[in-house]
Amino acid sequence: MFTPLSAQQWNYETAAHLLNRAGFGGTPGEIEAARGKGLDATVRDLVDVSDDLADVPPPAWARPRTIGKIVTQMRSKKRSPKERRERKRAFHDMEGENILDLRRWWLERMLTSPAPLVEKMTLFWHGHFATSVQKVRDGYWMWLQNDTLRRNALGNFATLTKKMSRDPAMMIYLDLEKSEKEHPNENWARELMELFTIGIGNYTEQDIRESARAFTGYRVNLRTQQFRFSSFQHDASSKTFMGRTGPFDGDDIIDTLLEKPACAQFIGRKIWRYFVEDDPSPETVNAMASRLRAHNYEIRPVLREIFSSSEFYSGHIMRSQIKSPVQFLIQTAKLLEIPLPPVAIAQNAMRQMGQILFAPPSVKGWDGGKSWISTSTLLFRYNFANYLINGDAMLPASDPGKQKGMDLAFGRAAALTAETRRDPIDVSKLIPGDLREKPQELVAHLSDRLFQAKPAAKEAEAFVQYLEARNPDTGDKTMRGLLHLMMSTPEFQLT
């Protein structure tokens, strides 16, 4: 495993593969630049980024607020019931708008960041330590968690896990801030083992109970909106956890879990699935676990070894991964060299495709892989590609009858009109004028951009026939029609 890729194998297609998987793709110019720099230099650019690039300015509204004071004002008996309802609604409307803006802020970061791997790993950890605003109900806490994930995206897994145990959004989502010495709450303790570290089947119910006791006393300071430790609510007595006995606290539990071979296998498999292939072999999982242990759970060197290996560029790996909805949206904008659509439209598109930032379906996160594609999601991808190209697609409006709390999760501005228009793209940026009358050369040119490879002969012939059937019309409308046809293929859904 992890055999270095030879210099002779580094070309346009392998460079495109690296940019697609370690980030959100690139334009032909960016791919050519990576090819010219070579594999080692391109991997260094992606992996060895300055910590300053994780220091991203927050949205203007993302700052601590005195939640208790706000709640008191909403509930004040000095106000009439009508005034209290209006204040409550105004507060929730504001939170909905904040979440909508937070999604815009992160999508823009993914599209424009000089550190695409940092954003790609932040998205990975968001799915791993899945937390939903539907329960947290606070945009600032969701931003704070996102900031923590970004600052630790390429760092040490043990450090990040401990930070997540103290993260206000996570503590609220899994009820850790309610856990008391006399009544330990087991939600965080269970998910810590089942979903975050060692996986189901590698712990007992007794381990959950003892772990829950170790994490008692974790609280959120509503004044500073940060973690605080309440020693009066912490169970400092002896606990027996996974064969060890002592007055363990939460960090001791996490350290014990990371020493288990199952933890390196669990995390290693998940990282490999995210960047490489859906169904890694047992040998691959063991190799990933070995590298994680060798690097003491430092993520950066493990990723460097993956991206430099010939296994990562195997024929059955390249162009085999189904794009997640977020990958589809960001990579398509890069390929077409267009700005992102308005955030309400982008949010609605993500909902239709099955991945809404800051609102994973459960603490398990998103299943990914083949689950991204169904008859309805595939049809929506085709229609959405048409919208991005032509600006006149019919986009389904958000359902106004969603259950209570969805306004906050999706943002009140998500209710779209039945038809939402945008200007058609400028195809002259993508198609040189001298190729418009050369169907085969034009198809090859656009295939390099959209697929980063030659399409199958049958598909290539269909694209050429599309152009020949419209000869001599080589206007912008025909060119946009060709783009939509090429993007409405199974091949375009893969990266």
3-state DSSP of 125-145: HHHHCCCCHHHHCCHHHHHHH
Residue 349 token pair: 């598109």
Residues 6+ apart with CB under 8 A from 420: 345, 387, 395
Question: Using omega within 30 degrees of 0 as the cis cutoff, is the peptide bond preceding 472 cis?
Answer: yes
Beta bridge partners of 35: none
d(CA 155, CA 335): 30
Residue 49 lies in a domain: no
At 425 the pLDDT is 96
From the centroid of its chain, how far is CA 284?
A: 24
Contact 409, 359 (CB under 8 A): yes
Question: Low-confidence residues of the chain, pLDDT below 50?
Answer: 393-407, 410-419
Q: What is the spatial distance between Cα 128 and Cα 143, in angstroms, rounded to a whole number?
A: 16
- Asked if residue 170 belongs to a domain, the reply is no
Strand, helix or coil at 337? coil
- What range defines the domain where residue 459 resides? 426-495
User: Total structural domains in the chain?
Assistant: 1
What residues are paired with 226 via a beta bridge?
221
Looking at the domain assignment, is residue 494 inside a domain? yes
Q: Measured between alpha carbons, how far is 381 from 365 in angstroms, rounded to an integer?
A: 21
Considering the domain boundaries, does residue 488 fall inside one? Answer: yes
Torsion angle, CA of 342/348/353/354, rounded to 10 degrees? 120
What is the chain's length? 495
The verdict on residue 128 lying in a domain is no
Q: What is the pLDDT of residue 63?
A: 87
Within a domain: 481: yes
Give me the pLDDT at residue 416, please: 44
Helix orientation angle between 67-75 and 81-112, rounded to the nearest 10 degrees: 150
In a domain, 190, yes or no: no
Domain presence at residue 474: yes
Question: 432-462 burial, b for 16+ CB within 10 Å, e for fewer?
Answer: eeebbeebeebbbbbbbbbbbeebeeebbee
